């Protein structure tokens, strides 16, 4: 590995895990193991192995959800390490993923540390504000946390590379034995991941559907493109009403802000919503950052600007795409306040709505949309039809951007009603309703493809694979049962 590729890898980890500076869709693309694995593979000049390793890691994190800054493991770091291990140690992607799996837990520490350390910027900002030093919210929300994160990411990559270097001799010396062990661990992890997803649906029909589709896939080796077309037809049938829905904006009798201001504010939010994420204010600074251009346009006096921006730094947390009607609404309230209309308590509205949007939003974008489209991308990847992942990934991007942008605008023009409409739309969304069925079907195809592609490996080791599967099944079952009891 050259110095250049090291620098690129650390830049990659920084960019992917930051979820900032990627227009709000980084979390749904760059941060996902397929994509980060692919990019790591690109750097190490073996894009296909990188992608395959990433896709196995993605299966391990198939039901990844992060709420309010907490998650099980860092899938992005795992994917990058998996890609590196697979390429540098000449492993099979399943073995590479198993090798990288423990690194995911290193990622949690980084994330928690980051949420703590970002509070420093909050403190510094407050100090400067109190001393009338006019701190810039873009510096404290955008620039400084990102620079710090870059150094932290580089450090993580250095440590990870160090560990890999230490293990290198061992890997070369006992290559065959370790390969076999890692392969079985990988199979076990895949099993655990899939079994816990199916178990959590708590529905026998869904499990039967999974196995039925798995066997059909094994027997027919159905084309991935056909699977995608069928799924897209189902999805568009179920969400037909949502697609056709164009929000009819109420005309306002006064407008100072133009569309450009709104779009710019949205652009800042999308890029920096989690830039200075911290335990004290969560997305508070990001909210203030996104209000900066609005406040600057409305008020000309520096003192007033400063005070108003500071007002928005208070604690805030929501799902960044579903929750955008809040932003639009707050912008329109701020505008009304400027005109002198007696408006309601902005802070109260903001706080009341954010929890609702987060509860509903996380259970839609993260729990339904992301796994749905990413698992279709996974089918292509596992089936080695790499070009195919473009379709589901670009559809996911389009969906996220549409949800986010339409909410923002409709919040500005329609106020409270925008939120109510959005809630009803998502609540009655049919994709969400039938998600367990669709998803278990996709998993059936996915596992079928995985078995077909790795058949020659599985065949050599059939008894061990069987034992590992049973162990994984028992382990998951016991763990999930005991979870419910406690």
Partner 1 sequence: MKNIILTRIDDRLLHGQVMVSWIPLLEINEVIIIDDEYAADEFMSNLIVESSPVNLTVKVLSVKDSAEYILSGSNDSRVLLISRSVESINNLLEMKVPIHKINVGGLGYLEGRKKYYNFIHMSDNEFKLLKEIAGKGISVEVQMLPKDKVTTLK
Q: Which residues bind partner 1 (CB under 8 A)?
A: 65, 67-70, 72, 112, 115-116, 119, 200, 279-282, 284, 314-315, 317-319, 351-356, 358-363, 366-367, 416, 419-420, 423-424, 427, 483-484
- Sheet strands (E) in 290-330: none
**Cβ(291)–Cβ(230) below 8 Å:** no
Long-range residue pairs from 153-159, CB within 8 A, at least 24 positions apart, any chain: 153/10, 153/13, 153/14, 153/17, 153/18, 153/110, 154/10, 154/14, 156/13, 156/77, 156/106, 156/107, 156/110, 157/6, 157/9, 157/10, 157/13, 157/80, 158/10, 159/106
Nearer to partner 1 by Cβ, of 90 and 311: the residue is 311
Could you tell me the CA-to-CA distances from 226 to 155, 389, 431 in Å, in that order?
A: 44, 13, 20
Token output for 411: 């919040």
Token output for 420: 């109510």
Cross-strand partners of 278: 282
Closest by CA position to 422, among listed 165, 334, 1, 414: 414
Q: What is the DSSP letter of 343?
A: -
Alpha-carbon distance of 136 to 140, in angstroms, equals 7
Nearer to partner 1 by Cβ, of 250 and 427: the residue is 427
> Cα 280 to chain center, whole Å?
22
**Cβ(24)–Cβ(404) below 8 Å:** yes
User: What contacts 103, CB < 8 A, 6 or more positions away?
Assistant: 74, 77, 78, 81, 160
Token output for 404: 């986010």
**Cβ(407)–Cβ(422) below 8 Å:** yes
Query: Sign of torsion, CA 406 408 412 417?
Result: positive
């Amino acid at each position: 590995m050259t110095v250049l590729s090291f620098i690129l890898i650390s830049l990659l980890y920084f960019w992917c895990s930051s979820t900032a500076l990627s227009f709000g869709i980084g979390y749904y693309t760059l941060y996902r193991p397929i994509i980060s694995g692919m990019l790591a593979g690109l750097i190490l000049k073996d894009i296909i192995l990188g992608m395959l390793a990433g896709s196995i890691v993605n299966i391990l994190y198939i039901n990844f959800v992060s709420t309010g800054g907490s998650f099980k493991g860092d899938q992005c770091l795992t994917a990058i390490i998996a890609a590196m291990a697979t390429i540098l140690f000449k492993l099979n992607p399943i073995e590479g993923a198993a090798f990288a799996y423990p690194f995911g837990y290193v990622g949690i520490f980084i994330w928690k540390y980051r949420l703590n350390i970002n509070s420093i910027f909050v403190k510094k900002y407050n100090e400067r504000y109190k001393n009338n030093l006019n701190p810039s919210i873009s510096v404290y929300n955008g620039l400084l946390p990102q620079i710090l994160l870059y150094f932290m990411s580089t450090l993580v990559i250095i440590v990870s590379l160090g560990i890999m270097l230490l293990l290198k001799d061992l890997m070369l010396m006992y290559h065959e034995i370790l390969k076999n062990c890692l392969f079985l661990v990988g199979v076990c992890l895949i099993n655990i991941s899939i079994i816990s997803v199916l178990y959590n649906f708590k529905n026998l029909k869904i499990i039967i559907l999974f196995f039925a589709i798995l066997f059909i896939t094994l027997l027919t080796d159905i084309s991935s493109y056909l699977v995608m077309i069928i799924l897209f037809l189902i999805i568009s049938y179920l969400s037909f009403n949502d697609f056709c829905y164009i929000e009819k904006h109420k005309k306002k009798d006064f407008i100072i802000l133009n569309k450009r201001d709104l779009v710019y504010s949205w652009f800042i939010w999308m890029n920096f919503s989690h830039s200075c994420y911290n335990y004290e204010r969560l997305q508070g600074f990001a909210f203030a950052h996104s209000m900066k251009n609005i406040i600057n346009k409305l008020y000309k006096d520096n003192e007033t600007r400063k005070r108003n921006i500071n007002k928005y730094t208070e604690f805030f947390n929501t799902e960044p795409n579903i929750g955008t009607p809040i932003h639009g609404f707050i912008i329109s309230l701020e505008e009304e306040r400027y005109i002198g209309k007696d408006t309601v308590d902005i802070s109260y509205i903001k706080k009341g709505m954010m929890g609702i949007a987060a509860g509903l939003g996380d259970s839609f974008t993260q729990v339904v949309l992301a796994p749905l489209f990413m698992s279709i991308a996974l089918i292509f990847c596992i089936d080695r039809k790499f070009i195919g992942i473009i379709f589901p990934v670009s559809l996911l991007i389009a969906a996220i951007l549409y949800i986010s942008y339409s909410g923002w605008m409709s919040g500005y023009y329609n106020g409270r009603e925008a939120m109510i409409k959005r809630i009803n739309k998502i609540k009655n969304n049919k994709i969400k309703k039938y998600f367990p069925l669709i998803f278990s079907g996709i998993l059936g195809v996915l596992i079928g493809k995985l078995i077909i592609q790795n058949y020659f490996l599985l065949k050599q080791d059939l008894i061990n694979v069987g034992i590992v599967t049973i162990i994984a099944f028992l382990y998951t079952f016991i763990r999930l049962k005991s979870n419910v009891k406690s």
